[in-house]
Amino acid sequence: MSEKPSHQGRIVEDEAAGWEPSASPLPEAAAYLAQEGYRLREEGRLEDALTTFEELITLVPGSAWAWAHKGEALLALGRLEDALIAFNRALTLMPDYAWALAHRGETYLLLGHLEHALADLYQAIDLQPDIAWVWGSLGETHARLGQPQEALAAFDRALALDPEYAWAWAHKGEVLRLQRHYEEAREAFEQAVALNPDYSWALGRLGEVLNQLNRFQEAIPILKRAVELDPQYAWAWGSLGEAYRLHGQAKEARRAFRRAVTLDPDYEWAWAHLGVTLIDLERYDEAVSALERAVALDPDYQWALAHLGEALRLAERLPEAINVLSRVLDEDPEDAWAWASRGEAFHQMQRYDAALADFQQAVRLDPEYAWAWARMAETLRDQGAYEDALSAFDRAVTAAPDYAWAWARQGALQRRMGYYDAARASLERALELAPDYGWAWAQLGETLRLSRDLERALDAFNRALELLPDYAWAWASKGETLALLDRFDEAIAAFRRAVELDEAYEWAWAHMGEALRLSERPEEALDAFDRALEIDPDYAWAWASKGQTLLQLRRFDEAIAAFQRAIHLDEGYGWAWAQLGETLRLANRPADARHAFQRALELLPDYAWGWAHLGRTLQQLGRYDEALDALHRALELKPQYAWAWAQLGETLRFARRYQEALEAFDRALALTPDADWVWASKGEALAAMKRYPEAVEAFRRATELAPSWGWAWSQLGNALRMAGRLQEALDAFDHRLHLEPDSYWPWEGRGRVLALMGRYDEALESLEQVLRLIPNRSWAWAYRGIILEKAGRRDEALESYQRAIEHGEREWGTSPRQASHQFYRAYFWLLRGEEAKGLALLEEAIAMDQDRTALPDALVALEEALMEWPPRPALRTALDRLYGLLEEAP
Q: Which of 446, 438, 401 is nearest to 420 (CA)?
A: 446
pLDDT band at 215 (very low <50, low <70, confident <90, very high): very high
> Do 506 and 536 meet the contact criterion of CB atoms below 8 Å apart?
yes
Mean pLDDT of the region 19-40? 76
Q: Which of 416, 379, 420, 417 is nearest to 396 (CA)?
A: 379
Which helix (H) or strand (E) segment holds residue 15: the answer is: helix 10-17
pLDDT at 15: 44
pLDDT at position 504 over 80: yes
Mean pLDDT of the region 480-502? 97
pLDDT at position 299 over 50: yes
Residue ranges in 553-623 assigned as alpha helix (H): 556-569, 574-586, 590-603, 608-620
pLDDT at position 712 over 90: yes
pLDDT at position 890 over 90: no
pLDDT at 870: 65
By mean pLDDT, which of 74-83, 117-126, 469-478, 796-805 is the weakest?
796-805
By mean pLDDT, which of 21-30, 410-419, 570-579, 617-626 is the weakest?
21-30
pLDDT at position 11 over 60: no
Give the span between the Cα atoms of 496 and 484, in whole angstroms.
Answer: 17
Question: The dihedral of CA 141, 142, 148, 152: what is its sign?
Answer: negative
Tell me what percent of the residues of the chain surpass a pLDDT of 70: 94
pLDDT at position 363 over 50: yes
Name the more confident of 881 and 390: 390
pLDDT at position 17 over 60: no
Give the span between the Cα atoms of 470 and 473, in whole angstroms.
Answer: 9
pLDDT digits (tens, 9 = 90+) for 632-660: 999 999 999 999 999 999 999 999 899 99
Name the more confident of 552 and 812: 552
pLDDT at 334: 96
> Do 393 and 404 meet the contact criterion of CB atoms below 8 Å apart?
no
Give the span between the Cα atoms of 868 and 755, in whole angstroms.
Answer: 8
By mean pLDDT, which of 55-69, 271-285, 838-852 is the weakest?
838-852
pLDDT at 887: 63
pLDDT at 1: 37
pLDDT band at 839 (very low <50, low <70, confident <90, very high): confident
Give the span between the Cα atoms of 475 and 470, in whole angstroms.
Answer: 8
Residues 6+ apart with CB under 8 A from 341: 306, 309, 310, 313, 321, 325
Surface-to-core class of residue 766, CB atoms within 10 Å of its CB (0-12 exposed, 13-18 middle, 19+ buried)? buried
By mean pLDDT, which of 241-255, 627-641, 804-818 is the weakest?
804-818
pLDDT at 383: 95
Count Cβ neighbours within 10 Å for each residue of 836-858 and write b for 16 or more, e otherwise: ebbbebbebbbeebeeebbbbeb
**378 φ/ψ sector (left φ>0, alpha ψ -120 to 50, else beta):** alpha
Residues 6+ apart with CB under 8 A from 619: 627, 647, 650, 651, 654
pLDDT at position 727 over 90: yes
pLDDT at position 109 over 80: yes
Mean pLDDT of the region 503-521? 97
Q: Using the 8-state DSSP alphabet, how is residue 742 labeled?
A: T
pLDDT at 20: 56
pLDDT at position 469 over 60: yes
pLDDT at 744: 92
Q: Which of 128, 180, 127, 125 is nearest to 153 (CA)?
A: 125
Question: The dihedral of CA 486, 490, 492, 497: what is its sign?
Answer: negative
Q: Measuring CA to CA, how many Å separate 158 from each of 16, 130, 185, 574?
A: 19, 8, 17, 88
pLDDT band at 851 (very low <50, low <70, confident <90, very high): confident
With 0.85 as the threshold, say if the pTM is over it: no
Mean pLDDT of the region 141-157? 97
* Superfamily name and number for 1-129: Tetratricopeptide repeat domain (1.25.40.10)
**656 φ/ψ sector (left φ>0, alpha ψ -120 to 50, else beta):** left
pLDDT at 889: 58
Q: How high does pLDDT run on average in the chain?
A: 93
Mean pLDDT of the region 248-270? 96
pLDDT at position 294 over 60: yes
Where in the chain are the domains?
Answer: 1-129, 818-890
pLDDT at 809: 84
pLDDT at position 875 over 80: no
pLDDT at position 168 over 90: yes
What are the phi and psi torsion angles at 44 (to 5°)?
A: 80, 15
pLDDT at 846: 84
pLDDT at 337: 94
Q: Which of 560, 569, 625 is nearest to 595 (CA)?
A: 560
pLDDT at 23: 47
Tell me what percent of the residues of the chain surpass a pLDDT of 90: 84
